Amino acid sequence: MLLDKYLPHLRPGEHYRPITDDELARTAVYAFQIESWSGKQKIAPADFPGAFTYGAHGLP
């Protein structure tokens, strides 16, 4: 469901192997309530290896 939400263009069996029942049984999901948030921004040149513009490539 997380892949469907954040990477809907990827398909199991085509872009990644489907999760097994054993892997799913060992999976946990946690929720966090964020009390504060901080960070910094780095502006990379457009030709920086691995760089992409958020919102491009069908991403939110």
Q: What does R_g of the chain's alpha carbons equal in angstroms? A: 17
**What integer pLDDT is reported at residue 51 of this predicted model?**
67
Distance from C-alpha of 58 to C-alpha of 55, rounded to nearest angstrom: 7
Domain ranges of the chain: 1-34+43-60
Among all chains, which residue has been given the structure tokens 């049984």? 25
pLDDT in tens, 11-38: 888 998 988 999 989 999 899 999 998 8
